Amino acid sequence: MIYPVILCAGVGKRMKSVFPKVMHCVLDKPMLWWVLRSFRGLIDNEPIVVVGKNKDLISQYFAGEKINYVVQSEPLGTAHALLCAYKSLKSFSEEDYFLVMPGDMPLIKQETIKNLCKMSEQNNDITFITCKVDDPKGYGRILRDKDNNFLRIVEEKDAKSDELNIKEVNVGIYLIKIALLKLLYNIENNNAQGEYYLTDLLELALKMGYKIGTMEIFDQKEVLGVNSQKDLLEAQNEAKRTIIDVHLDNGVQIFDINSTWIGPEVCISSGAKIMPASVIYGKSKIGSSTIGPFSNVENSTIGDNCNVIYSVIRNSTIGNSVNIGPFSHIREETVVHDNIRIGNFVELKKTEIRNNSKVSHLSYLGDTSVGSNVNVGAGTITCNYDGFDKHRTTIEDDVFVGSDSILVAPVKLSKGSMVAAGSVITRDVPEDSLGIGRASQVNKAGWVKIFRSTKAKKKDD
Amino acid sequence: MIYPVILCAGVGKRMKSVFPKVMHCVLDKPMLWWVLRSFRGLIDNEPIVVVGKNKDLISQYFAGEKINYVVQSEPLGTAHALLCAYKSLKSFSEEDYFLVMPGDMPLIKQETIKNLCKMSEQNNDITFITCKVDDPKGYGRILRDKDNNFLRIVEEKDAKSDELNIKEVNVGIYLIKIALLKLLYNIENNNAQGEYYLTDLLELALKMGYKIGTMEIFDQKEVLGVNSQKDLLEAQNEAKRTIIDVHLDNGVQIFDINSTWIGPEVCISSGAKIMPASVIYGKSKIGSSTIGPFSNVENSTIGDNCNVIYSVIRNSTIGNSVNIGPFSHIREETVVHDNIRIGNFVELKKTEIRNNSKVSHLSYLGDTSVGSNVNVGAGTITCNYDGFDKHRTTIEDDVFVGSDSILVAPVKLSKGSMVAAGSVITRDVPEDSLGIGRASQVNKAGWVKIFRSTKAKKKDD
Amino acid sequence: MIYPVILCAGVGKRMKSVFPKVMHCVLDKPMLWWVLRSFRGLIDNEPIVVVGKNKDLISQYFAGEKINYVVQSEPLGTAHALLCAYKSLKSFSEEDYFLVMPGDMPLIKQETIKNLCKMSEQNNDITFITCKVDDPKGYGRILRDKDNNFLRIVEEKDAKSDELNIKEVNVGIYLIKIALLKLLYNIENNNAQGEYYLTDLLELALKMGYKIGTMEIFDQKEVLGVNSQKDLLEAQNEAKRTIIDVHLDNGVQIFDINSTWIGPEVCISSGAKIMPASVIYGKSKIGSSTIGPFSNVENSTIGDNCNVIYSVIRNSTIGNSVNIGPFSHIREETVVHDNIRIGNFVELKKTEIRNNSKVSHLSYLGDTSVGSNVNVGAGTITCNYDGFDKHRTTIEDDVFVGSDSILVAPVKLSKGSMVAAGSVITRDVPEDSLGIGRASQVNKAGWVKIFRSTKAKKKDD
């Protein structure tokens, strides 16, 4: 049995942000999300997330996920954090393991965690991950004997000059038998920071003859710990590139790597074209369609053969053969069926549109049902809100809504009806009827001449 | 006489796309377009394009261009493809040449093809292009004697380990005397794939004592064969960069290479400024104007001293000193003359606007003629479509269209006339007259208090 | 006393632009701006800017800044330009200095100029900056003796082959005692171009036994002289990167370096998030808010906790907790207070909006004051312009403006009033009253059937 423990209480001073460090996003997900993902499916036990003052922001974001939050009320170091986690365990076996991970290592791969978990079969008391890194500064160096067996970790402050040159370091991911955790009580904090360090546990365990193993990994990017905004940017680029490579390999055409952002939960069909400056985030699913340029799709499903340009689509479902944009905004709970045109400067909210309909220009449809073969003219606006309540508008099949019409909800335009351009529609329009509500035109001959001369006169005064 | 033959029947499995490989775009043009361009102006003969099942999509795109499509109904290899092309020739001389090129080599330069064509003067039976490449994997290696004379090509599968290290390869572009093509009948397909390979023709010709020459080129990017989405991306970046360099050298200021895409048919004047995130495609012609940021111009002409920001312009003509955007959409067959402002959230379609006019906000003009010195107020909409037919709107010189007016076409606003704000105009407005069609305002004193208390009561219930 | 002299009269042929070279922008500022900035705060004397035919464009841009423009009417070389500057001095001491700088070196650092100015204490007659550069082509090489003392500058055309290999060059920035400037009269122009070169002054001074010193700097990017559009692009990228690094270090999260442009005068608070494709220029000040993706902020202040997506904001002030976009355009002199929603397709101009109000969709408010707790419905348009004058609209607290209303200014909606959807409001609406100005709806039963059959008949004809 393995219990994941994620250390997230660190303040992250070098981020220079009031925001909790592990909640900084890599693509559309906080770093902690990426760490949690690294053992999803591998370990069933509820992860223990050790938090500090930042608990609320974290638990709010992950609401709905099974997480055991343990609060480390004072920042007394990683060993103290682990002790908090240990104390919170209600029932466990001494032969169970803690998988200890930092919350700021978003690029760690599932494969790596899988391999580390397998190490529990070797029955080490502690196994930890090492990696050769270009710049070992700040890390504990791994000392090995001439047969390459692990001897011990030497912390930077204690290292001799030749030891400082060692590139293999302790990256901070451990698999620890729970039996050992009571040793945490014996760790001291007589150091400059007055903190309890988890690395001291290793030293103690080693002295006491426990069996300690290492697992070396070879891609140093994986264990990039994010401590500054620059680190975060590096993690971002790396995560982004990895995801894009997968989509390219799947037959998605991506026109520009630099200006394409695809989140880790997005699915894209082969044959899709992702044009420059596209952001696709959340649980989006894209069929064999063209997205972009300059589009943003979030938590939405888009079918095949669609075009989405210069538009924003969120929390909505788009069918097949739908043309959207430029400059459209499709908001929450909108469903657009097949063979539909959503034109420029159009906003849809909680609206369903059935096949072969058009909303081509400068319109706002909110809380509306639109049937099939409907033409919604330019400048049509639903008044779904009276200052107190929201009401629905229903537009049945084969309706023609003239331009610049105002539909004051609740209202229904029945099958085959028409609305004359510029009408304010406050009552239902029956089947095949024309609803008209506008004043008649009058031409005032010569009026403009007088108006102009009056204005000109005023200017002269 | 040289006949170009482009081999496009390949399935391109590694693209993982249902789309024909040669129709994948580099910038705004399919790869095949780039290959065809490489001998445009050099060779007058109609090119032979060998296609497979993908014929329709290809011939549709190139409709209007003189191309002799030859269908290779089964994918039996490059030699078989060439045989299909050979059989399709109606009249030719044995001394004529085939210029054989793959359809997936979009970066090949015209200069290179020109030089190869000149080789026909040397009277080789076959001349083919070689290039030293960093990664020769998969290519036939070029064996030479100690005087550097071409000996033969060795295919990868037959190569000894030292031969595998040879970097000079056969890139797949050949100039072949037609007399030799009957040898294609002698080629066998006793290989793993059961295909007939064009490289076997070289071996056969060599054995039979024909004269075979090579032409080495030195820029390996030029002969990048696109086999995967990653290759395509590489070709894209390369093509893009080459085009941008030309514009920079011409005195165009480009603020950001990464987010600028300029198609191969675009002309830009010196003194133009291309701001970040601009896409300029098709046969566009840009004067000394500022395009972008975030603009998309396609098949359009833009004069001098214009600004186009956050806007999309397609198939239209813009004069001088025109300010467009942010957030404008100028659609097909629109002509905008000089000294004009097209403001935010404005759509123009099949509309002509003469000098010194303004359409500044939230308007849709379709099928409209606008004179000079016209002010089209915010929210003006032309109702050009009655559900059955499209009609034209005419706005003559010096007209003032009040805000939120609806112009129900066919309708004419004569010279110097005005439309009162909020009017629905269904009949022509004569010269210097005011057209007004709106209800008078009534104020219902205290009405809101009652409304509010009713609403509040309901909520309480 | 130090007088800065900036040489800007050069034609800059290789830019291939009609535009003066020093007015080409790096980010949002002309190159000359960057050069002037390099001694801002260090030197109080009015800088002398030597201009040519380009004077007007330059002096127009820098209107309001104290600059002494000296016109070099013919391009007779750098020594002649300096002579023009010298002649223009009205009163000075022979012990004063000229700080001579080229106008096309935008990356030069203030630190460097500070250090150079300190050299005046060493009492050299001339001190000039040198730097080792990768490609010394075109520069004068620095010859030194075996003790590394400066001997002389050798111009490229006079250099022997081993001298050509010298990497240390004269970058063109000099601190010259004014006493020496009369030597400028002795310089000759017997060279191919017939120009008077400033480097000849050094040679002359050296011959005459004046004391000449060098100050070597070590970052060659700093002295990149911009001579072509490619150089400009390089300077652009370098300036951009330097600025972004500062913001990252300050705790600003920047999601993408490539598509983020931040001007040199922009302030951003820690905790801000700058999303991809953002342009922030001018004297903008951004609080702990999220800007982008795809936003453009110019000369504007944005408070904390705001979101600005797909929007353009210029010359405006935004408070706290304001959501803007997608697709909004906030223009000059607009003030938006706290807790406000500016929705999609909304344009604001010279408009003030007080707390807790909403302008959510498809509206244009110009010259308008909006109180607090106001709801401006979709499609609301202020008619602020009657073709001659602009008028103001006033909307007091707690007003509800129904959708698609037209407010014909000057007009006032008093506290707690409402406007019925689709009304044209031409007169003030009193407190708690409903203003309504729209025609009643009529339904014409069966009308559509007749319309359709008529239309169908016509088509048959």
pLDDT 10s digits, A66-94:
999 999 988 899 999 999 999 998 888 88
Residue B444 located in a structural domain: no
State the Cα–Cα distance between residues B88 and B99, nearest whole angstrom: 15
- Assess whether B8 and B118 both reside in one domain: yes
Instruction: Name subunits touching B (3+ CB pairs < 8 A).
Output: A, C
- Assess whether A176 and A274 both reside in one domain: no
Q: pLDDT value at position A409? A: 95
Show residues of chain C in contact with A461, CB under 8 Å.
none
Contact B448 C423 (CB under 8 A): no
Residue C412 located in a structural domain: yes
- Name C153's Cβ contacts closer than 8 Å, sequence gap at least 6: C140, C141, C142, C143, C170, C199, C202, C203
Pairing of strands B434-436, C260-262: unpaired
CATH number (domain holding residue C303): 2.160.10.10
* CA dihedral over C290, C295, C301, C307, signed as positive or negative: negative
Q: How far is A50 from chain C (nearest CA, A)?
A: 23
- Assess whether B311 and B336 both reside in one domain: yes
Residue B260 pLDDT > 90, yes or no? yes
Which of B161, B195, B217 terminates a domain? The answer is B217
The string of pLDDT tens digits covering residues A164-202 is: 999 999 999 999 999 999 999 999 888 878 889 898 999
CATH number (domain holding residue B152): 3.90.550.10
Show residues of chain C in contact with A345, CB under 8 Å.
327, 345, 362
- Is residue C34 helix, strand or coil? helix
- Assess whether A184 and A262 both reside in one domain: no
Q: How far is CA A338 from CA A358, B117, C346, in A?
A: 11, 51, 29
Asked whether this complex has an ipTM greater than 0.85, the answer is yes
> Which among C279, C383, C434 has CB closest to B293?
C279
- Name B204's Cβ contacts closer than 8 Å, sequence gap at least 6: B183, B186, B187
For chain C, how many structural domains are there in total? 2
Show residues of chain C in contact with A406, CB under 8 Å.
379, 403-404, 421-422
State the Cα–Cα distance between residues B255 and B257, nearest whole angstrom: 7
State the Cα–Cα distance between residues A459 and A450, nearest whole angstrom: 14
Residue C381 located in a structural domain: yes
- Assess whether B313 and B183 both reside in one domain: no
The pair of structure tokens assigned to C266 is 């922009």
- Assess whether A82 and A177 both reside in one domain: yes
Residue positions of C in the annotated binding site for Mg(2+)? 104, 227
Residue C223 located in a structural domain: no
**Is residue B126 within 8 Å of residue B174, measured between CB atoms?**
yes
Residue A255 located in a structural domain: yes
Residue C460 located in a structural domain: no
- Assess whether B117 and B246 both reside in one domain: no
- Assess whether C351 and C385 both reside in one domain: yes
- Assess whether B311 and B204 both reside in one domain: no
> Which among B236, B296, B383 has CB closest to A421?
B383
Work out the angle at residue A81's Cα, subtended by the Cα atoms of residues A76 and A85, and round it to the nearest 5 degrees.
Answer: 150
- Is residue A444 helix, strand or coil? strand
Concatenate the DSSP letters of all residues of A299-336 into one string. Answer: S-EE-SS-EE-S-EEES-EE-SSEEE-SSEEE-TT-EE
Work out the angle at residue A307's Cα, subtended by the Cα atoms of residues A306 and A312, and round it to the nearest 5 degrees.
Answer: 110
**Is residue A332 within 8 Å of residue A350, measured between CB atoms?**
yes
Q: pLDDT value at position C386? A: 85
CA dihedral C203, C206, C210, C214 (to 10 degrees): 80
- Assess whether C212 and C308 both reside in one domain: no
- Assess whether A176 and A264 both reside in one domain: no
- If 0-12 CB within 10 Å is exposed, 13-18 middle and 19+ buried, where does residue A174 land? buried
State the Cα–Cα distance between residues A303 and A321, nearest whole angstrom: 8
Amino acid making up residue A80? H
pLDDT (tens digit, 0 to 9) for every residue of chain C, 461 residues total? 899 999 998 878 899 988 899 999 999 999 999 999 999 999 989 999 999 988 999 999 999 999 999 999 888 999 999 999 999 988 888 899 999 999 999 999 999 999 999 988 888 999 999 999 999 998 999 999 999 889 989 988 888 999 999 999 999 999 999 999 999 999 988 887 888 989 899 989 999 999 999 999 999 999 999 999 999 999 999 999 999 999 999 999 999 999 999 999 999 999 999 999 999 999 999 999 999 999 999 999 999 999 999 999 999 999 999 999 999 999 999 999 999 999 999 999 999 999 999 999 999 999 999 999 999 999 999 999 888 889 999 999 999 999 999 999 999 999 999 999 999 999 999 999 999 998 888 999 989 899 889 888 877 76
- If 0-12 CB within 10 Å is exposed, 13-18 middle and 19+ buried, where does residue A218 land? exposed
Which of C158, C191, C217 terminates a domain? The answer is C217
Residue positions of A in the annotated binding site for Mg(2+)? 104, 227
Contact C277 B257 (CB under 8 A): no
Mean pLDDT for the stretch of residues B170-177 = 96
A361 in catalytic set: yes
- Name C399's Cβ contacts closer than 8 Å, sequence gap at least 6: C371, C374, C375, C413, C414, C415, C416, C417, C418, C419
Residue B240 located in a structural domain: yes
- Assess whether C425 and C352 both reside in one domain: yes
Q: pLDDT value at position A157? A: 85
- If 0-12 CB within 10 Å is exposed, 13-18 middle and 19+ buried, where does residue B133 land? middle
Q: How far is B173 from chain C (nearest CA, A)?
A: 34
Backbone dihedral angles phi then psi of residue C145, each to the nearest 5 degrees: -85, 180
- Is residue B28 helix, strand or coil? coil
Residue C195 located in a structural domain: yes
Which of B181, B196, B217 terminates a domain? The answer is B217
> Residue A415's closest chain C neighbor by CA?
C448
User: Which one, of C2, C318, C303, lies nearest residue C177 by Cα?
Assistant: C2
Domain with C415 in it: 229-435
Which one of the listed residues B24, B329, B337, B361 is annotated catalytic? B361
Q: Which helix (H) or strand (E) holds A61?
A: helix A55-61
